[in-house]
Amino acid sequence: MIKVAVSGFKGRMGSEVVRTVLAEKDMELVAVLDHEPTEKNIAELPEFHAENVPVYGDLGQLLSEAHPEAVVDFTTPASAYQNTKKIIEHGARAIVGTTGFTTEQIEELTHLAEAKQTGSLIAPNFAVGAVLMMQFAEKVAAYFPNVEIIELHHDRKLDAPSGTAVKTAEMISKTREKIKQGHPDEKETLPGARGADYEGMRIHSVRLPGLIAHQEVVFGAAGQGLTIRHDSYDRVSFMSGVTLAIRKTAELKTLIYGLENIL
């Protein structure tokens, strides 16, 4: 049995991970973390009344008392870096879905994971369909360097652009000729109208209630267009990627960024 803990267990993603881990036959949920816990055990919550899993308010205490092999983190951009560092320093595997990491932070955590010989994974998107969208976009960009990314999320999301959009832009930039798109003299009459600039391509962030996580990668060339779209209609779409990462990171001795690298 793989001993798993969930950080941010009351959140939209964290609660889905708790349900998933409880249902997996080869996993044991040994602890959960909340930054301001109001319960001592998840059994106090009606949905989990039949379970017996301690709730911690301190990650250090959780790691040294519950001894998880893997900790899944879906918290906030402000806390995920410190959480991930602490998990790896302790020698446990970090499986992180929280978005908003900088390139420098990912590099530093990778060095730390290598020094500790610990497998970990940070993935801005755990949905297999979203990973395929990014991989296909990387291929298309070799032929269609004019591209705009439109990401659409629920209006409770804290960071913009989404981690998936940034990762898509990074992957596209491996094959795309670096050109500045649009008219050379274009001017925004309303600031932000053309979106964020990533090496000359544009990223647009839509935030609306009712949405979960969606993205369109729109390519244009003379006389033709190609649009790749992925939709997560339900948070269950991320769970097969999370359980795969919990299992696969046991075989790694470094930190991997992106689910595509373990598929």
27-33 and 2-7: which strand pairing? Answer: parallel
196-198 and 201-207: which strand pairing? Answer: antiparallel
Question: Is 13 known to sit in a ligand binding site?
Answer: yes
Structure tokens at 171: 């992957």
33 binds ligand NAP (CB under 6 A): yes
Choosing from 19, 22, 24, 35, the residue that interacts with ligand NAP (CB under 6 A) is 35
Catalytic site includes residue 3: no
Site string for ligand NAP, 129-148 (x = CB under 6 A): --------------------
Choosing from 54, 97, 119, 258, the residue that interacts with ligand NAP (CB under 6 A) is 97
Long-range contacts of range 81-86, CB-CB < 8 Å, 24 or more positions apart?
81/105, 81/109, 83/7, 83/59, 84/109, 84/120, 84/122, 85/109, 85/112, 86/59, 86/60
Question: Is 85 known to sit in a ligand binding site?
Answer: no
Kindly give, in sequence order, each residue whose CB lies less than 8 Å from that of residue 247, ignoring residues fewer than 6 positions away: 2, 26
Number of residues forming the site for ligand NAP (CB under 6 A): 26
Catalytic site includes residue 253: no
Choosing from 2, 5, 7, 248, the residue that interacts with ligand NAP (CB under 6 A) is 7
Annotated catalytic residue: which of 153, 204, 214, 230? 153
Preceding omega of 161 cis (within 30 degrees of 0): yes
**Whole-angstrom distance between the N-terminal and C-terminal Cα of the chain?**
22
Choosing from 125, 215, 243, 249, the residue that interacts with ligand NAP (CB under 6 A) is 125
Annotated catalytic residue: which of 3, 35, 86, 157? 157
DSSP 146-171: -EEEEEEE-TT--SSS-HHHHHHHHH
Choosing from 20, 84, 98, 249, the residue that interacts with ligand NAP (CB under 6 A) is 98
238 binds ligand NAP (CB under 6 A): yes
DSSP 180-203: --S-TT---SSTTTT-EEETTEEE
Annotated binding site for (S)-2,3,4,5-tetrahydrodipicolinate: 154, 163-164
Write out the residues near ligand NAP by the rule CB under 6 A. 7-8, 10-14, 33-36, 74-77, 79, 97-99, 123-126, 157, 213, 238
Annotated binding site for NAD(+): 8-13, 39, 97-99, 123-126
Give the active site residues: 153, 157
